[in-house]
Structure formats: structure tokens, C-alpha cells
Chain A
Amino acid sequence: MDQLLQHCVNALVLGGTYALLGIGLTLIFGIMNVVNFTHGALYTFGAYAMYLAAVGLGINFYLALPVAVVAGLVLGAAIEFTLLRPLRRSDIDTTMLVMIGAGIILQSGALWIFGGVAKAIPNPMPDQPLNIGPVSVAWVRLFVFAAALVLIGVTYLTINRTRLGRAMRATFQDHDTAALMGVNVSLIYTATFAIGSALAAAAGALLGPVYVVFPQMGDLAAVKAFAIVILGGLGSIPGATIGGFILAFAEEIGAGYISSGYRDAMGFIIIIAVLLAKPTGLFARAERIG
């Protein structure tokens, strides 16, 4: 019983992280129809930006976080402007390969600049975990969990309660009509990619202090993010959030009671099952084929 409780708490904390990884990708995927293979590299970028700000420049931990997020925002806008904008009319695999190329460059660049040795980012939270009965959880994980929920909430409100969000939703439903209605679609695309990138960088900046920072850290993060997005349905923020928690629970319970060797397989098995049962994901708002 104690073990089950601990698994559940672990899954809850991990799920918040996964949701954070997923929402940036689902925005870009859903609105721009771009399979963003730079997502993992942007996550890594956010972590290194956090490392440079907090360790390199010695900025206060809590102030370094927004610095890293803004850096991700700027890099995302630059990628969209230089690489995606000229390819607006290209098909999904051309843009995907360009994103793969950009991802390779970013990751190799990180290796070149920082070397392969992992870096640690110290955090100001207490070392001793919070103990509630038989269950323990680290303070830094709780902080990340709370921050993730705040970021998810802000993103959700941006999309559903602001003018920018309305334009983004219109573009998601039908970009030609949106353009006719006077929406500046190019600007919306840049904004969407920049926001998605900022969220990826935020995830990296928050998780860098929990884990360690190294050039390939984005690979696994990107795979999980793809799984979460598909689980939740493309373009759905609540879907990605719930998808993140489902994946985390499946992994925890799978590793705890089935086999730890198949821990990472759980997510994929669920995806295959979900897509066979309900091909558009669990919470898709609109179907998009092609």
C-alpha cells in the first residue's frame, strides 16, 4: 500500500512535467501542422540558458527562469522566421526534415560549445524531502509541479481569453478563412512557434535543476512529448495536460508492477491502443487529416 501511494505521488509530480513538455508541441503541431523536431533541442536550449544565467552569470534562481524562457521565445521566433516561413506552402515531410536538420545543428552546437559532460544547476530549495506519512517528495519537484500548472493555465487562458488566442484558434480551424477575415496568419504562425518554443525552453529550465543538463537530454523528452500530444489529440491543451498525467501513471504503475525494462514502452503501447480505438486522440477538438 505504501508503495502504491508513493507510485501515485511520483506519477502526479512526473505528470505535471510531462504535461509541460506536451503543451508546447501540441500548439505547434495543431495550429501549424508542423512536426516540430526541434522541440527536444529547444528543451535542451532552455536548460543550457538556465545554466548560463544561474551558474554562469550568477543570476538569482527565480529570476534566471524567465530569462531562459525569453531566450526560448526569441530562438523560436528566429527559427520560424528563417526556416518555416519560406516553406509555408511545403508539405509536412519537407518541413519536418528541415526541423530535423535544425535539431541536429542545435544539438551538435550544444555539444561543441559545452562539451558532453553533464552540468548541474543548484536550486535554493531545501535538500530534505517533504514527508507526509509513508510518502516522500522533493521540494524542487513540488516547485516544478506548481510552476508547470501555472504555465499550463496561462497558456490555456492566452488561447481562450485573448485576441491573440482567438486569432490562433481561427487559424487552427481554417487558415485561409482566417486570412480572409483579416487575421495576419504569418504573424500568428510566428507567435505560435515562439510560444511553443518558449514552453519547451521553460520545461528545460525547470527540469534542468531537477535532472542534469547535457546535449542529448532533449531526445527522450521529445519522444515523450510526441506520445503525450498524440494521446491528448493535436492542438488540445487540456488533452496534452491529461495525456501527460496518463503517461506518467502508466509508466509508474508499469515499472512498479510489471517490469521496469518496459517502463518506456508503456507510453507507446497506450498510444497504439488509443489510436486504434479512437484515431484522433482522446481529446481532439477537430480532426485534421493530411
Chain B
Amino acid sequence: MSRVIAPLLLVVLALLPLWLKDPYLLNALIITGIFTLCAMSLNLLLGFTGQLSLGHVAFFGIGAYVSALTALGFDVELPFGLVLVVEPGSPLLGFVLAVLVTALCGYLIGRLAFRVRGAYFVIVTISFAEVVRLVALNWVDLTQGPLALTSIPNMVLPLPGLGETVLRTKMQNYYLVLGMAVVGYLVVAQLVTSRFGRAMRGLQQNESLALSLGINATRTLTVAATLSAAMAGAAGSLYAHYLRIIDPDVFLFSYTVTMVIMVVAGGKGTLAGPLVGGLIFGLLPVALRPVMAPEAQWIVYGGVLIAILFLMPQGIVPALDALTRRLRRARPAKSAPGAVEAGANP
């Protein structure tokens, strides 16, 4: 199913701005795209290794702060009377550093957190995100704390022959996010179909069996966590340079919840799941806004979430898979390619 949905979505999304000129909807799509990128990275952990991280927003926020601080420059007092002064740099450098720093954080957290599983892992990750939020809030010298980092420059892109272009318009940012989403999708797709991907799914399905086959659980999970964190960090960087202001609210727990909803409702462990879930739950609030009271919008949001999980406990994409399989069986045709789906088999 992913092999049909993903290219189809890409074509539609790539052509959309040709007729959709409304900046508000483009803005909604850009934000949705950024969170979908986060959802794809979360899927790497939750969907393919079965580890539910409820602290994913930490990597998103760290990425946003690293990128913004690199672009804005800062000076901060360190212990032993040292002062670290960083001059304002290019947002592109910020992006690269955001990816590297969050990858490192993901690696360290992976090493620590994967000593526990299940509900305990959930809580360790929540705790980590909360501690990071409180550091961002209270380390005022570095992060400006609640006073927020403002006037963050837009992302720049070095174009061959044109020099560096500052991405100011909605359209430019839209294609930047779309491009990053495609890269993210391809990385995840490559990874899960590789030998490493088989090791991850082996761990998800039966950890003891996988271990007996010589799979190094902690190492496999740590690599997945590192990549996942780096992708979320990239999304955070895009967010900071698009919105141009960040404060400790980028660590809001509700952002993590949004990401998890996107993954699980779309279909965890499928490549297209986070895309479908991301678009639905990213745009649902936009669609609800004009038709009902603010409180009612939230109630419907919660209701839609419950309804999807009740009707399609595996998520939307696996449900569509099952539907097409049934249709095919009812009307036998030549075996279609793409019926075997990475990780979609229950």
C-alpha cells in the first residue's frame, strides 16, 4: 500500500501550490509537514522496534534550540570562569549542528533508556523530555528561558550557480519541508528494508528469539534511536527557522501526543502510515476551526481519534491494505506488485 500511497501523495503535494495560493492553508501544510517528519522519525522507533517514546518532543525542541542559537549566536558562562562565545552563523550550519547534536542525544538516551522496556521506557522518555524543557526554561543565560528566542533568520539554501538563497516565502518553505519529508521517507524506507531493518523488526516481534539469533538488542535499538532523534532534530530546525521564534513551549507534551497520534492512527510500522496520519491529524483542526466552538473542536478531535482506533486498531494504512487484499481476492487478477509491505504484516 505504501508504494502506491507515498508516490501518489508526493505528486499531489508537489503540484498543490500550483493552484492552492491561500497562505493560511500553505502555512497549515508546512506545519503539518514538519510534524509529519517528526511522526516518521517516531515511527522508526514505535513502529519498527515497538518502543513507545513519549519524549520525542525533546529531540524536536533540542533541534530547534541548537539551530536557532547557532544562527543567532550566544555567549554563556561555563563553570571555572570560562565564557563560551558563539558568533551568529548560517542557518544551514544550524541545521547540520541540530542534526548532529540531536543524534548524539538520541544515542546517549538510547544507551540509557533501553535498559528498560514497556511502560518504564515510556516514563523514562517522558521524564527526559520534561527535564530538557525545564533546563530550557531555567538556563536563561543560554536559551533566554521564557523570554523566547526571537528574530531567528529564515533558512538559507545554497543553490548551485545562484549562491545562498534565503527562503522567505511560503512557497519556498513548503518545498523545503516537502523535500525534507521525501528525504526522511527514503531514509526510513532504505533502513527498514535493509538487514538492519530486519533486526529491528525481529526485536519487535520476539525479543528473546531475536537475541538467540545473535541480534544485539541494545545496539540495534540505540542505532534506531540515534537516527530517529536526528530526524526529529532536523524537523525542529525547520520549525525554528520557519516560525522564527521559539520558547520552552516547543517542548509541550501535546506535541509528542500529536506525533504519536499521527503514527498510531496512520498505521505504525508502515511507511505510509505517518504520512496519512500526519495529513489527517495535522489538517483536522484546520477543517474543524470554521465549523464549531473551540471546545467542541477538541471534543471532536478526541472522538475521531477513538473512532479510528476502534474501527482500525492497526491504523488506517493496514486497514486499507486489508481492504485491497479482500477486493483482490474477490476479483482475482494477476498478482499485483507491492502487495508485500515492509513491516505491514501483522
Contacts and interface: CB of A to CB of B under 8 A. Distances in A.
Direct A–B contact in the complex, CB atoms closer than 8 angstroms = yes
Interface of A: 29, 33, 35, 83, 86-87, 90, 92-94, 96-98, 100-105, 107-109, 111-112, 223, 226-227, 229-230, 234, 259, 261-262, 264-265, 268-269, 271-272, 275-276, 279-281, 288-290
A101 B52 contact: no
A100 B264 CA distance: 12
Contacts of B126: 223, 226, 268
Given A29-B119, A272-B128, A97 B313 contact: no
Secondary structure of the A contact surface, majority rule? helix
B220 to A, nearest CB: 17
Given A112-B295, A264-B130, A272-B124, 19 more contacts: A35-B122, A83-B306, A93-B264, A96-B52, A100-B257, A100-B260, A101-B305, A104-B302, A104-B305, A108-B299, A109-B299, A227-B123, A229-B123, A230-B120, A259-B138, A261-B138, A262-B134, A268-B126, A268-B128
Contacts of A272: 112, 124, 127-128, 131
Secondary structure of the B contact surface, majority rule? helix
Given A33-B119, A234-B119, A262-B134, A94 B299 contact: no
A93 B118 contact: no
A97 B305 contact: yes
A100 B119 contact: no
Contacts of B118: 92, 288-290
Interface residues of B, number: 40
B112 to A, nearest CB: 6
Closest A-B pairs by Cβ, 8 of them: A104-B302, A108-B298, A112-B295, A268-B127, A101-B305, A261-B138, A105-B302, A265-B134
B115 interface: yes
B336 interface: no
Contacts of B124: 271-272, 275
Contacts of B52: 92-93, 96
Contacts of B303: 101, 105
A260 B46 CA distance: 35
Contact of A276 (B112, B301, B302, B309): B112
Given A33-B119, A275-B124, A276-B115, A94 B309 contact: yes
